[in-house]
Amino acid sequence: MFLFNFAHFVTWPSQKSSDAPLVIGISGDDPFGSYLDETVRGEKVINRPLVIQRFGRSTELTNCNILFISQSESERAAQIVSSLKGRSILTVSDMDGFVDSGGMIQFITERNKIRVGINLGAVKAANMKISSKLLRVAEIPR
């Protein structure tokens, strides 16, 4: 599961001093169902337990480290990304043009293979770092 694995390749500013759960949030319709919950059950990243949180349309998206923005939020995606500017929340989606519109990581499906696009500017603006291991396999728009 990509969302779970991203937690291994991202460094958050407060990461070293925290033992709070690392929260993976889902905004909009959840395309993963119970699979994501089962994948992270009992797992830890940097000694932090992983927790899944689902956000409704009107819910404040504040308490998460990774936020997957579902296709059902396509009309609000730019607004969601904009509202998170300056916050250390890794934004991820599979919407076309997501990284071009300020999102951080986009799943790109081509010929039945999933690739990853990364907006380094958005990641740096959020004061986060992405491991070179993930960057090597990613597409980085210029």
Question: Which tens digits make up the pLDDT trace of 29-42?
Answer: 999 989 999 989 99
93 bridge partner residues: 69, 106
Quick one: pLDDT at residue 139? 83
What tokens appear for 47 in the block?
């000694």
Residue 138 C-alpha from the chain's centroid: 14
| Cα first-last separation, the chain | 27
Q: DSSP secondary-structure letter at 21?
A: P
Three-state secondary structure call for residue 15 = helix
Distance CA 82, CA 76 (A): 10
Q: For 2-136, CATH number?
A: 3.40.50
What Rg do the C-alpha atoms of the chain give, in angstroms? 14
Quick one: pLDDT at residue 73? 93
Q: Which of 20-24, 51-55, 68-72, 111-115 has the lowest mean pLDDT?
A: 111-115
What tokens appear for 138 in the block?
């990613």
CA dihedral 40, 43, 48, 51 (to 10 degrees): 20
Distance CA 122, CA 117 (A): 12
pTM of the model as a whole: 0.91
Q: Is residue 28 within 8 Å of 70, Cβ to Cβ? A: yes
pLDDT band at 131 (very low <50, low <70, confident <90, very high): very high
So where are the chain's domains? 2-136
What tokens appear for 129 in the block?
């770092």
Distance CA 45, CA 33 (A): 21
